[in-house]
Amino acid sequence: MTRLTLTFDNGPTPGVTERVLASLAARRLPAVFFVVGQRVLSDGGRRMVEQVAAAGHLIGNHSLTHTDALGDRPDPAYAEREIGETFAVLADLGLPTAMFRPPGNMGKIGSHLLSPGAVDLLLRERSTTIVWNSVPRDWEGPEWVDRLLASVRAQEHTVAVLHDIGGGCAELLDTALDRLLEVPDIEFTREFPDEVVLTRDGQAVSLGPQHVSGPWSSGRPQSPGLRAEGAIT
């Protein structure tokens, strides 16, 4: 059995997110959308998030502004703003979620992902922190489809990062999904393997010092680190 969790980052984007939802709906496929809080504040963004939820997809927090990586800004107030305010935005929409995905640094897994203050907040708020093991670089051109297929064939459980933004995956998503559906014994799921789960319900899973920019004391496990294919904007 080959498992694939499709995730869509950096939206919602009116005019794009609808196309992604239509492609998924036509094939009855599940997905997870990690949204940028500022994008949800507009009327169009709010409608898009409501459509995502109505379609039955999961919604997670991808920071308020998606600017500096949390590990590059160690001030605890920055983590409180980027993480906490986005959780508040989603809660105001009646969409409470405990899932968080930190902004990457062009898709790399490393200490830039989290600051000690961010770790403390995520554990305190009983959050589930998700990273990735495949970033096919859908913003670079049509070759992303082949890169995604290669990831799926090489791994037991792929957590792929695509983007519902202009210049992202939408143009070729139908093609990609149809090709994925041809993979023998593939299962589309909204679950995540422990490999990409840094914290779950406020408990450290694969979280280790390699994910944090400074000393931290709330977590205990140390893991060998994760490597992602490609990059993420």
Q: Tens digit of pLDDT for each residue in 80-102? A: 999 999 999 999 999 888 999 99
The pTM is what? 0.92
Choosing from 9, 120, 138, 164, the catalytic residue is 9
pLDDT at 224 over 60: no
Q: Tens digit of pLDDT for each residue in 26-73? A: 999 999 999 999 999 999 999 999 999 999 999 999 999 999 999 999
Angle formed by the axes of helices 173-180 and 17-27, to 10°?
30
How many domains does the structure of the chain reveal?
1
DSSP assignment string, 54-95: HTT-EEEE--SS--S-GGG---HHHHIIIIIHHHHHHHHTT-
- pLDDT for residue 9: 98
| Ranges assigned E (strand) in the chain | 2-9, 32-35, 58-61, 99-100, 128-130, 135-136, 157-163, 186-188, 197-200, 203-204, 230-231
Choosing from 62, 157, 163, 211, the catalytic residue is 163
Handedness of CA 180, 95, 93, 122 (dihedral sign): negative
Dist CA 38 CA 64 (whole Å)? 6
Dist CA 230 CA 59 (whole Å)? 23
- pLDDT for residue 217: 64
- pLDDT for residue 96: 83
Q: If 0-12 CB within 10 Å is exposed, 13-18 middle and 19+ buried, where does residue 180 land?
A: buried
Q: Tens digit of pLDDT for each residue in 140-190? A: 999 999 999 999 999 999 999 999 999 999 999 999 999 999 999 999 999
Provide the terminal-to-terminal Cα distance of the chain, rounded to the nearest Å: 30
- pLDDT for residue 105: 75
Dist CA 213 CA 73 (whole Å)? 9
Q: Which domain holds residue 74?
A: 2-231
By DSSP bridging, strand 197-200 and strand 128-130 are antiparallel
- Length reported for the chain: 233
Strand partners, 128: 99
What Rg value do the Cα atoms of the chain yield, rounded? 17
Q: Does the annotation count 163 as an active-site position?
A: yes
CATH number at residue 123: 3.20.20.370
- pLDDT for residue 108: 84
